[in-house]
Amino acid sequence: MKNELYGKDILDLTELTTEQLKAIITLAIAMKKNPAHYADSLKGKILGMVFAKASTRTRLSFEAGILQLGGHAIVLNSQDSQIGRGEPIKDTANVMSGYLDGIMIRTYADADVAELAAHSTIPVINGLTDLHHPCQCLADLQTIYEWKGTFKGVTLMYIGDGNNVAHSLLIGGAKVGLNVAVVSPQGYEPAADIVAKAKELAEATGAVITVTDKPETVIGSTDFIYTDTWASMGQENEKAAKEAVFLPDYQVTAAMMAAAAPDCKFMHCLPAYRGSEVTAEVIDGPQSIIYQEAENRLHAQKALMLTLMSAEA
């Protein structure tokens, strides 16, 4: 059967239907259970990886993933290529399309990724931008499904800065029917247009989308508590100012975990800063599933690459 997502771009998860998103998650779980079955699925395929931002999990998951599927990866750091010297994105896109089978880019401006996709004839994957982190969300959804076996009736509370991770969780959660509550201090809420889009998408799946500055209004029904560093890459100079606003009410503590559902799990996309957004007691404790979540980046990225880069996936 022809793969309808072959050659498509994934910039913020709105490109996927609910069924397509769930199919990628199902495929990721299958690939995790039986990696040998997929060993030559992308044999001979080449993924170009463009990095304007530092990376650990994104680079490792994509590079290891394409190798495990029989393909190859070529890494371009923006400062080591013509991209960093101001080559027009249109030219870069057309040239890369002639050499490669797919592009993953991790950068700042969403507009740059959209322009790259507009001029490429091969699939472009957003590996992280200032507004979106769709690849992280795929791994997060996979992790939640592995624990619950469903998204219906499950609630994830994201607490902290309304950043790119929060945005993707809102979109992805709404798509699959996961209830998502984003809890942020006033002035640090997720973007209003992304919240509106998530609520629109949620109408079709029955997901409940909540944005509030009061953790106590949602904590009791929460199955997963998720946080991220308060100062994202490029915002390190804001760290002290944000800590003054976020501490102590928006820090994930043992007391917060105890107030949630009895089997509530803790999630974090990493890197984490113990003592800031989360206490060491929580992130290193028995409720933490951060390393399962991190490993799932590999499986989710493999499923995404296979879906976009193979006509028969």
Residue with tokens 């929060």: 166
Separation CA 48–CA 284 (nearest Å): 35
Q: Is 134 marked as a binding-site residue?
A: yes
Q: Is 82 marked as a binding-site residue?
A: yes
Check if 136 is active-site. Answer: yes
Q: Which residues pair with 47 in a beta bridge?
A: 73, 102
Sign, CA dihedral 191-222-21-95, equals: positive
The catalytically annotated residue of 130, 132, 167, 269 is 269
Q: Is 186 marked as a binding-site residue?
A: no
Q: Is 57 marked as a binding-site residue?
A: yes
Residue with tokens 């001029």: 119
Check if 235 is active-site. Answer: no
How many CA atoms, within 13 angstroms, populate the side-chain half-sphere of residue 10? Answer: 33
Q: Is 106 marked as a binding-site residue?
A: yes
The catalytically annotated residue of 140, 161, 228, 299 is 228
The catalytically annotated residue of 167, 268, 297, 299 is 297
Q: Is 85 marked as a binding-site residue?
A: no
Residues with Cβ within 8 Å of residue 34, at least 6 apart in sequence: none
Check if 137 is active-site. Answer: no
Using an 8 Å Cβ cutoff, are 41 and 70 in contact?
Answer: yes
Q: Is 178 marked as a binding-site residue?
A: no
Q: Is 253 marked as a binding-site residue?
A: no
Check if 274 is active-site. Answer: no
Separation CA 101–CA 165 (nearest Å): 27
Q: Is 264 marked as a binding-site residue?
A: no
Using an 8 Å Cβ cutoff, are 224 and 155 in contact?
Answer: yes
The catalytically annotated residue of 68, 106, 264, 287 is 106
The catalytically annotated residue of 68, 132, 136, 268 is 136
Tokens of 140: 């997060």
Q: Is 223 marked as a binding-site residue?
A: no
The catalytically annotated residue of 9, 12, 133, 161 is 133
Q: Is 56 marked as a binding-site residue?
A: yes
Q: Is 135 marked as a binding-site residue?
A: yes
Residues with Cβ within 8 Å of residue 159, at least 6 apart in sequence: 182, 183, 184, 215, 225, 226, 227, 250, 252, 256
Check if 269 is active-site. Answer: yes
- Give the residue ranges of the annotated binding site: 55-58, 82, 106, 133-136, 164, 228, 232-233, 269-270, 297
- Give the residue ranges of the annotated binding site for carbamoyl phosphate: 55-58, 82, 106, 133-136, 269-270, 297
- Give the residue ranges of the annotated binding site for L-ornithine: 164, 228, 232-233
Which residues belong to the active site?
106, 133, 136, 228, 269, 297
